[in-house]
Chains A and B, each alone.
Chain A
Amino acid sequence: MDPVISVRGLVKTFGSTRALDGLDLEVAPGEVHGFLGPNGSGKTTTIRVLLGLLRADAGEVRLLGGHPWHDAVELHRRLAYVPGDVSLWPKLTGGEIIDLFARIRGDVDERRRDELIQRFELDPTKRARTYSKGNRQKVALVAGLASSAELLVLDEPTSGLDPLMEAIFQDCIRELRDEGRTVLLSSHILAEVEALCERVSIIRAGRTVESGSLDSLRELTRTSVTATTERPVEGLGALPGVHDLEVRAQLDGDTEVRFQVDTAQLGPAIEVLSRAGIRTLLSQPPTLEELFLRHYGDQLEPDELVDDAG
């Protein structure tokens, strides 16, 4: 099937600032795709280009088989957008704003609207100017989730929501996924992305630095292992891909080892351990946070360079 979103080499400059610098992004139909990046890395700019609000300077962008700038109106019939920075008309109530969006979309589903208002515990009779940040966000969420659009573009949609509402949001997204709809989820909340997304794209300074399924990304980083063995472990330090090895003899004669290992090298490392007689074994796959920090933290890079050289 053709991808729902296909971006190749996208460039967007504002004056002398190069906000997007050859960004790639591909989202397949029916998937919930996580879109990650630090503040100012170009997530919102990318979304604005996808929505036809900004014009791409270079690169190829296809959205639902169309051109986001030229076919904006046609494409927008098929998508719903939830911004992260929600600004509402102060004199209108939340209920009025939700209805207005549904009617302009031509996509009114009263039952679903009421259900969502109830699930998110939103008071639709309050004027927008009296809503808190979280409640403004709920108005935008209800307006977006109430639509029957095949693609949802969500730009940090849960900023300001409490954990209870966060859980309800995740339920809603799973329901959408089960209906076969596609979601592009830009988020800072890594637990949320880990819970919802099969595939993620990580961008930095306007470029995609990593893209793929969470499983394949995990293989690119290290697993941390803690084990106790009957006998001293031999030859672990000599294995390729093992880092930060700590060995401690325990009072009862057992040996405790802790180390990090490149996930691709996990098998050989376990073999070495089992030769020493494993009593306990704790193996932790890398969290998304570690994946994320690997591409963010400049301070990690020298370490990586040494590893590459070795």
Chain B
Amino acid sequence: MTSLVGTGALVRLVVRRDRVRLLAWVAAIVALVAVTAASTKGLYPTQRDLDLAAAAVRDNPAALAFNGPDQALDTIGGQIAYQVGAFGLVVVGLMSLLLVGRLTRTEEDSGRLELVRSMPVGRDAPLAAALVVVGGAQLLTAAGASASLVALDQEVHGSVVFGLGFLGVGWVWMGLTALTAQVAENPRVATGVAGGALGVAYVVRAAGDMSGGGLSWLSPIGWAQKARPFAGETWWPLVLLLAVAAALVAAAVVVAERRDFGAGLVPPRPGPARAAPGLRSPLALAVRLHRTAIAWWALATALLGLVYGSLAESIEDFIGDNEAIADILASLEGVSLVDSYLSTSLLITALLAVGPALQVAGRMRAEEADLRVEPLLATQLSRPRWMGAHVALALGGAALALALGGLGLGVGHAAVGGGTGQVAELTVGALVYLPAVLLLAGLPVLLFGVAPRGTVGGWLGLAVAFVIAMFGELLELPQLVMDVSPMQHVPPVPASGVRVPPLAVLAALAATTIAAGFVAFRRRDLRPG
């Protein structure tokens, strides 16, 4: 087995280099399970609450599509498995594909692996090390998830099957990404294909769960749910997951043994020798650089809106006389439950819509850090024009995601009987959040100007706004703290009417923040990474 020489040393290197990232993934997923389990216990204190919740979901195809099949929903365990649901399994798959992609093809593409392979290290050692580390991290995640369920008084048997479902899906996407990383020469394509497969697996089981289950057998995510944690566990779908994971890993090793270093199975195609006529300005370049990311964010926001909208009419059945949930939603007197549900949905949509702006701002900083901006600014291109192109895309991307989120919410609601008027009303309603979204989007713009290495801090602003919006009332945060988030100053349409003064103040603050970023960037040195 000389092809595995050096695996141990590489494992130590990877763990040393990525220990924070690895721990963050494990902790985040375990926390997702633990928090969902704890809150599910809190939300459904009586059997009657559980029965109502189960009845509401059973008749709602959208809910089944979003989370998973109807399995023992009238028990706490079943509810927990349903609430974490397919979403949790997708996150586990993401963890695998991002980590494996990073440790295999990205390393190879960057040229770092070439140095490693020039040393006495076996041909398969880098791949083996990546699998050991990611496989181990998934084991830790699964064990943590099971343990946290047991700690929250759930049955051991169900908790273990639940954790094994996570492990199986994690390992399948680990194997799949190991394979795509051998086949594709470009790291983005490698993770993109694995990510696409994850999306397809999610959608296939969504269709299956809505229509009674048969189709879900075509999806590894479906298999994890077919193991029925807390609902009369069946073990053999888990064996299926492990078998597929093993087959994928074996296929990856076979391809790895046969291919050249740096190459894939698919040779790269030549691109255009000349730039398209439109590629002639910093704005056109920025569009080219950011369009894919913005499109994905816009699609995600629109889909989220669509799902939330389609659940709007069943919200009353869903909540029934559950006071815990009613309290969260109806913080306003004399407002219908549906309207306050829609208000909350718009708020979440607005938070998500900040995402594209933060990602674009981060890439703007990367352009500077990776030295790509210097030759551009050495032409007659001025700093404000260069920065303006990226900021326009950041703000435009956020506005687009916001509008599409509102549109999706409106269409979703209209489709289940909310009335066609909802489409326009909720789209416009989403735009009420625009000043607040632009203010949060302006934060990384300001940071880029003042402290470019801190541009990533924009995500912190969004995280704070998110925590305040989602948990502020539950945690009984003081008003002073709540007021920090710009989202809290937006009148919660449609539950309340539009009031202009707070929106004008938010808009003025957003404009000032962004302008200050421009001024600061004009005055500072360029700082490579």
Contact = CB atoms under 8 A, between A and B. Distances in A.
Interface string A89-113: 1011101111111011110000000
B268 A130 contact: yes
B275 A73 contact: no
Contact of B271 (A87, A103, A126): A126
A103 B280 contact: yes
A51 B372 contact: no
Given A87-B370, A87-B372, A104 B379 contact: yes
Contacts of B379: 76, 81, 101, 104-105
Contact of A95 (B273, B280, B526): B273
A204 to B, nearest CB: 23
Contacts of B331: none
Contact of B525 (A54, A80, A92, A143): A54
Contacts of B289: 89, 91
B324 interface: no
Contacts of B501: none
A215 B377 CA distance: 36
A95 B268 contact: no
Interface string B274-309: 111001111001001100000000000000000000
Contacts of A103: 275, 279-281
A188 interface: no
A104 B280 contact: yes
B119 interface: no
Contacts of B372: 87-89
B478 interface: no
A54 B370 CA distance: 16
Interface string A34-75: 000000000000001001111100000000000000001110
Contacts, number: 114
B334 interface: no
A244 to B, nearest CB: 43
A83 interface: yes
B378 A51 contact: yes
Given A83-B371, A89-B372, A130-B268, A104 B274 contact: no
A295 interface: no
Contact of B381 (A76, A92, A98): A76
B186 interface: yes
A79 interface: yes
A174 interface: no
A95 B274 contact: yes
Given A103-B280, A130-B268, A76 B380 contact: yes
A183 B79 CA distance: 73
B374 interface: yes
Contacts of B274: 95-96, 99, 124
Contacts of B288: 89, 91-92
A121 B116 CA distance: 32
Nearest to A149: B379
Interface string B374-388: 111111111100000
Given A53-B526, A104-B280, A87 B371 contact: yes
- Greatest chain B CB density within 10 A among A88, A93, A101, A104 is at A104
Given A95-B272, A101-B375, 17 more contacts: A48-B374, A54-B525, A55-B523, A76-B379, A83-B374, A87-B370, A87-B372, A89-B289, A89-B372, A91-B289, A93-B271, A97-B275, A103-B275, A103-B280, A103-B281, A104-B381, A129-B186
11 contacts: A73-B381, A73-B382, A76-B379, A88-B372, A91-B289, A95-B275, A96-B271, A103-B275, A126-B271, A129-B109, A140-B375
Kindly list the 5 A-B residue pairs having the minimum CB-CB distance in the complex, ordered from nearest: A99-B275, A81-B378, A125-B270, A93-B271, A103-B280
Interface of B: 109, 186, 268, 270-276, 279-282, 285, 288-289, 370-372, 374-383, 523-526
Interface of A: 48, 51-55, 72-74, 76-77, 79-83, 85-89, 91-93, 95-101, 103-106, 123-127, 129-130, 140, 143, 153
